Amino acid sequence: MSKATRKERVLWFKAKNYGWGWYPVTWQGWLITAGYAAGFTITSLVFGAWAGAATEAGADLRETIFGVLEFVVVIGLLSYSLFRVCSRFGEKPEWRWGKK
For 8-28, what is each residue's pLDDT tens digit? Answer: 778 999 998 888 999 999 999
Of the pLDDT bands very low, low, confident and very high (cuts 50, 70, 90), residue 5 is very low
Which CA distances in Å does 50 have to 6, 36, 76, 79? 51, 21, 19, 21
**pTM (two decimals):** 0.79
The reply to whether 39 falls in a domain is yes
Of the pLDDT bands very low, low, confident and very high (cuts 50, 70, 90), residue 67 is confident
Alpha-carbon 9 to chain mean position:
22
Say if residues 15 and 90 touch (Cβ distance below 8 Å).
yes
Number of domains in the chain: 1
> Helix count (H) and strand count (E) of the chain?
2, 4
The reply to whether 98 falls in a domain is no
The reply to whether 100 falls in a domain is no
For the chain, give the mean pLDDT. Answer: 86
Residue 82: is its pLDDT beyond 60? yes
Average pLDDT of 62-67? Answer: 81
Could you list the residue range(s) of the whole structural domain that residue 32 is in?
23-90
| Angle between helix 61-89 and 27-57 (nearest 10) | 180
The reply to whether 50 falls in a domain is yes
